Amino acid sequence: MATNADRIAFRNALGSFATGVTIVTTCDKAGQDCGLTANSFNSVSLDPPMVLWSLARDSLSMEAFRDSEYFAVHVLAADQEPLSNGFARRGADKFAGLTPDRGAGNVPLLAGCAARFQCRTAYRYEGGDHVIFVGEVIAFDHDDRAPLLFHGGRYALAARRAAALTASNAEEIDTPGSFGEDFLGYLLGRAHFQLYGRMQACLARHRLDATDHFVISILGIQNGRTAAEVEGMIGFTGARITPEHVASLSARGIVRPDPATDRLWLTDTGRGILIELAAAAKAAEEEALETFDDNEAALLKHLLKHVIRHTDPGLPDPWAPADAA
């Protein structure tokens, strides 16, 4: 390949092939653990069971893998991105802080992976600036964990395609003033109200309306804010915090307004209610995400954060440190 630009273009083109991420480990002749992050892993044969991966010729691990009869491939789980980064650091002490199990040939076996394949090196092939290792799988295990993915040079999130989610295949509707069931506003609104509906019993028990709930939630994150500051943070809801609201929360012992500073403080009663509301919200979230795996739940939240950031008119962030808010 002639130029550097060609190399980059080739690399980018290869990046359009989405892969999982593995860590391949071995133990060298001196008994030293050795390993690296690799996404060149692939299946080769079912009978006999065989897999392959390729190692850059200039890898510091080359000697260890060339000399060892065994290696282990660990298919990483979605929450193992830090481990992947650690094993992608050239020459680093990659096993620091880890206490791996031992497999065939004393090969280190890492925990918490989606799958692990212990292999005996069957063949080695020259592959340009890489060496291809083909291993016969002598043992494997597999856990039902969402996998870590890599696409376009970055870690990625993916969702499994569900069977048809709607009756009508969500066809575009052309009638002016109408919208189809794929309209984002409808989807977000309906998801919100159905989720929120699960919390209504808890709110009703404490005679709280949606605005009361907003106030209690914000004070739970940023206690001691004025009504105007709280209103600013929930500006996306359109709710107004009137003096009547504050008086009602105060009369019920949920919020204590400080007349000298205009600040609102959650009382112990308010905190107790907040904890109940948070538990109800968590239960509603768990129920809503019940059929999702880790990647799908992370993907949904990731994309919603994108929408929120992209449409944010510039509201103060309730999670910013108090002095920066």
Ligand X SMILES: Cc1cc2nc3c(=O)[nH]c(=O)nc-3n(C[C@H](O)[C@H](O)[C@H](O)COP(=O)(O)O)c2cc1C
**Cα-based distances in Å from 218 to 221, 239, 260, 312:** 5, 13, 21, 18
Closest approach of ligand X to the CB of residue 259, in Å: 58
The answer to whether residue 38 forms part of the interface with ligand X (CB under 6 A) is yes
Least distance from ligand X to the Cβ atom of residue 146, Å: 17
Determine, following the binding rule CB under 6 A, whether residue 158 of this chain makes contact with ligand X: no
- Residues 16-35: x where in contact with ligand X by CB under 6 A, - otherwise, as a string: -----x--------------
Within 13 A of 309's CA, how many CA atoms are on the CB side? 6
**Residue from 56, 138, 170, 289 that binds ligand X (CB under 6 A)?**
56
Task: Single out the segment in contact with ligand X by CB under 6 A; choices: 56-64, 74-82, 169-177, 310-318.
Answer: 56-64
Using rule CB under 6 A, residue 230 touches ligand X:
no
Q: Are 46 and 131 within 8 A, CB to CB?
A: no
Site residues (CB under 6 A) for ligand X, limited to 89-118: 89-91
Q: Which residues contact 255 (CB under 8 A, 6 or more apart)?
A: 215, 216, 219, 246, 249, 264, 265, 266, 267, 270
The token pair at 183 is: 């309209």
Pick the piece of the chain touching ligand X (CB under 6 A) from 85-93, 116-124, 242-250, 283-291: 85-93
Binding-site member from 60, 204, 315, 322 for ligand X (CB under 6 A): 60
H-helix or E-strand containing 277? helix 268-288
88 and 36 Cβ atoms separated by less than 8 Å: yes
Residues 72, 107 contacting (CB under 8 angstroms): yes
The total of other beta-carbon atoms located within 10 Å of residue 62's CB is 15
Q: How far is the CB of 57 from ligand X (least distance, A)?
A: 9
Stretch that binds ligand X, among 84-92, 138-146, 293-301, 303-311 (CB under 6 A): 84-92
Contacting residues toward ligand X, per CB under 6 A: 21, 36-40, 53-56, 59-61, 88-91, 150
